[in-house]
Amino acid sequence: MDKHHKRDLLVVLAFFILIWEFACYTCPSFISINDLLIRIWQCKSLFALHIGATLNELVIAIPLSIFLSFSLSVLFFSFRFLKVAFDPIFILFQTLPGFIVAPLFILCFGWSKISILTPIILLITFPLTTSIYKGLISTPTETVEYYTFCGLSKNKVLLHIRIPYSVPYFFSGVRIAFSSCVSYAVSGEFVGAQEGLGVLIQLFRREFDFVSLAASILILLALSLFFYSLALLLEKIFSWVFLYGSFKKNSISSNSFNILSMFKRGW
């Protein structure tokens, strides 16, 4: 994210806060951001406990989702009939809300951590797999034919040509997945968790504590922005370290380095 984007983001955020505070001034029933911050400070230990539980789930789910996404995308590319067979399942899981899907896994795995992590992993994996697969099939035909003519096998073309071409698509999917992963975790916690932001939101809703409920939602939004910023940071680190570090220094593959360098300008 360059300086202009950061400036625009700060301007939008300041404008949003100004509109919110103006609404609170004109309509007393609105909850001001100041009240929300005070409530978060008053209940900081309770919020910290449940935020830690949600983050613990995401720390486990995100790496597994990335590994599963790469594996599935390569598998779908190698065996196209699997992509056709799994497409309806992907569409079904992406259209159904998470809190509807979660009870199915409780029936399968019982009241355990697996029943909470499984819907999170799947809801992150499906859009990310689609992005990576799109990158694999978007490699220019001329480039593939050229390196095939030069003697590269199909596996080497996949490893050194197609996968590097799919990197921008991968990070595009990561930005979407990271910004939505917190809401996926909360959806899973609504049904079978004992701790987490989803449990906390349900607790405040039952007690009609609307200030604490709004504070929980504000924390959820802040975590979503944090993970989105983390995705942008990882993208920038990859573009600088791997493109001009590992690939160039260790000479892993000059073909991969040349292809990835083409996308550096886009990053």
User: What tens digit of pLDDT does each residue of 48-60 get?
Assistant: 888 888 888 888 8
What pLDDT score does 125 carry? 85
What pLDDT score does 3 carry? 60
Give the tens place of pLDDT for each residue, 99-110.
Answer: 676 677 777 766
Three-class secondary structure assignment of the chain: CCHHHHHHHHHHHHHHHHHHHHHHHHCCCCCCHHHHHHHHHHCHHHHHHHHHHHHHHHHHHHHHHHHHHHHHHHHHHHCHHHHHHHHHHHHHHHHCCHHHHHHHHHHHHCCCHHHHHHHHHHHHHHHHHHHHHHHHHCCCHHHHHHHHHCCCCHHHHHHHHHHHHHHHHHHHHHHHHHHHHHHHHHHHHHHHCCCCHHHHHHHHHHCCCHHHHHHHHHHHHHHHHHHHHHHHHHHHHHHHHHHHHHHHHHCCCHHHHHHHHHHHCCC
What pLDDT score does 247 carry? 44
What is this structure's pTM? 0.75
* Domain coordinates in residue numbering, the chain: 1-30, 36-264
Give the tens place of pLDDT for each residue, 163-192.
Answer: 888 888 888 888 888 888 888 788 777 776
CATH code that applies to domain 36-264:
1.10.3720.10
What pLDDT score does 256 carry? 47
Q: Could you say which residues of the chain have pLDDT below 50? A: 246-257, 259-267
